[in-house]
Amino acid sequence: MLSLEEVRKRKTLRNFGGGRQSEQVRLLEGEIVAKHYSRTNPKHVRGFHLEVANLQRLSSCSFVPHIVAVDIPNQIIYMTYCGEKPTRYTDELKVLVRDRLQYLKKHFHMTRKFLYKKYLPRVDNVALSPSGEVNLIDFGTPWRYEPHAPVETKAVLNVSEHTRTKLLEKAKRKEQHLLSEIKRNKK
């Protein structure tokens, strides 16, 4: 982990604006994200502490941001950058995200409250890495750690393992296509 002083010295490359539970999110040099929370808004204070705790629990998970440094007095989390947000959900992306959610539930006892009936996080909480991986971001208030909750053993989409494997393969191909589309649009 970098020191807080080292991270604070990094220049801002991009400002993503604020979120529902944060005041500001910035991309810094070295592919580090600085997520700022209000110190006076009780919802932001709670969101800050929940996100730090959840990211610490998920430190061994490969498809979530990893904490680089935490500035507790100023309520800033510095974490690894996970990639660009997709413009929309495709059927293949939905399969991959549901697979990631099931993995978090099974291996980390992490569950998420959903605001709409598709049982997916908002597309703003998904990131596509340059290497083609689907990452989940934003682990604040909607996430719950439930160490004693029973773990489901059913397949994510309630389909046979063979069908699920085929869907995941198709989703991976589509994910690669989406990434090349994002790179093309950046130029």
Write the pLDDT tens digit of every residue in 27-43.
999 999 999 999 998 98
Indicate if the pLDDT at residue 80 is higher than 70. Answer: yes
Domain boundary assignment for the chain: 4-80, 91-186
> Domain spanning 4-80: which CATH class is it, in words?
alpha beta
Indicate if the pLDDT at residue 153 is higher than 50. Answer: no
Indicate if the pLDDT at residue 170 is higher than 80. Answer: no
> Residue 125 phi/psi, 5° resolution?
-100, 20
CA pair distance 65, 124, nearest whole angstrom: 14
Q: Model's pTM, two decimal places?
A: 0.77
CB atoms within 10 A of CB 139: 25
Is the Cβ–Cβ distance between 92 and 81 less than 8 Å?
Answer: no
Look at residue 70 and give its three-state secondary structure.
strand
Burial of 178 (0-12, 13-18, 19+ CB in 10 A): buried
